[in-house]
Chains A and B, each alone.
Chain A
């Protein structure tokens, strides 16, 4: 559904709820999986995706349309993920490796995974990357987003993103090769 149509519905007080409902249905899966790949756990992802859309509701009137609606919502979701992971580390005073182990355990103990052994290894290898690098990798590799779009979301230059992704790929291949 076109951004223009959605925004028109939402900005009209008579159709605000209807328009917002359409927006949620349009973007919920992409936003959910973007978050889920970062936080691993479904319950955490569920909380965060709801928070994202609450923020979208509250901020939609201030949305300046200088980027697409998708970019804006994705940016909110990205920030929510990073904030969540940072808080997780601070709350329990866990060093990076302990949070990584915790997330890896969630991957291992999840009985409802749908993938082969190599795909499981890939997910655990991704957890060894810094959060922002993992984020960039997910957006490029799984979501197949363009660097320009990732640059808008992460407010990072295209060059830096290309370098980050290249290093991430090399690191993952090395981890899985020697696993």
Chain B
């Protein structure tokens, strides 16, 4: 017959236990550890240094090259733009042009000799002039130039 007390375990009391860390370390571990750590520290310090050391010449060449690039850029940026004559003329109104031509000392023949008129411009001018002629003027021209009517 089993004793009931066998089933009642003695409560464990932590305070009565000898405080001990049961783990062990390899021999000489702590004598070697500082050296291992120091070598890793040295390695980390050396790894932060740049792999390539810049030569004396390169140290000055780079800033000069940078300045040269900046100067070239400034020169290109501030070059005056080519004058667009056509655009300038487009800005002048027709009235202003007529007023200028009327005030100028150039004759019609001189103006016509300066201007390069194409075929359409000439036909347009002729038609305009013809519209401005009265009947008497028109008769005089036809009498002088019988083939004129055929040519227009």
Q: List the interface of chain A (C-beta within 8 A of B).
A: 17, 20-21, 24-25, 28-29, 32-33, 36-37, 40, 42, 46, 49-50, 53-54, 57-58, 110, 112-115, 118-120, 122-123, 141-142, 169, 172-173, 176-178
Whether the pair A119, B26 counts as a contact (CB closer than 8 A) is no
Determine the distance from Cα of A114 to Cα of B22 in the docked complex, in whole angstroms.
Answer: 5
Contact of A54 among B17, B25, B26, B40 (CB under 8 A): B40
B38 close to A17 (CB less than 8 A): yes
Asked whether B37 lies within 8 Å of A113 as measured between CB atoms, the reply is no
Contact B9 A119 (CB under 8 A): no
Q: Given the complex, which residues of B lie within 8 Å of A58, measured CB to CB?
A: 44
| Chain B residue with the shortest CB-CB distance to A33 | B21
Tell whether, in the assembled complex, residue A177 and residue B38 are in contact, meaning their CB atoms are under 8 Å apart: no
- Give the contact-size bracket for chain B: 20 to 34
Closest A-chain residue to B25, C-beta based?
Answer: A42
If over half of A's interface residues share one DSSP class (helix, strand or loop), that class is named, otherwise mixed; here it is helix
Asked whether B11 lies within 8 Å of A113 as measured between CB atoms, the reply is no
Q: Digitize B1-26: 1 where CB-to-A-CB distance is under 8 Å, 0 elsewhere.
A: 00000000111111001111111111
Contact for A42 among B17, B23, B30, B40, CB less than 8 A = B23
B contacts, CB < 8 Å to A = 9-14, 17-26, 29-30, 33-34, 36-38, 40-41, 44
* Shortest distance between the CB of B57 and any CB in chain A (Å): 30
B135 to chain A, nearest CB (A): 108
Q: Taking A28-B33, A28-B34, A122-B17 as contacts, is the C-beta distance between A54 and B22 under 8 angstroms?
A: no
Q: Nearest residue in A to B16 (C-beta to C-beta)?
A: A118
Q: Are A25 and B19 in contact (CB under 8 A)?
A: no
The answer to whether A57 and B11 touch across the interface, beta carbons within 8 angstroms, is: no
**Which among A37, A57, A173 is the interface contact of B21 at CB below 8 angstroms?**
A37
22 CB contacts below 8 A, A to B, read A21-B34, A24-B37, A32-B30, A36-B25, A37-B23, A42-B25, A42-B26, A46-B29, A54-B37, A54-B44, A57-B41, A110-B23, A114-B22, A118-B17, A120-B22, A142-B19, A142-B21, A172-B12, A172-B14, A173-B11, A173-B13, A177-B9
Please report the C-alpha to C-alpha distance between residue A40 and residue B36 in the assembled complex, in whole angstroms. Answer: 21
Nearest-neighbor residue (CB-CB) of B44 within chain A: A54
Closest to A52 in B: B37
Decide if A115 touches B20 in the complex (CB within 8 Å). yes
- Residue numbers in A under 8 Å from B29 (CB-CB): 46
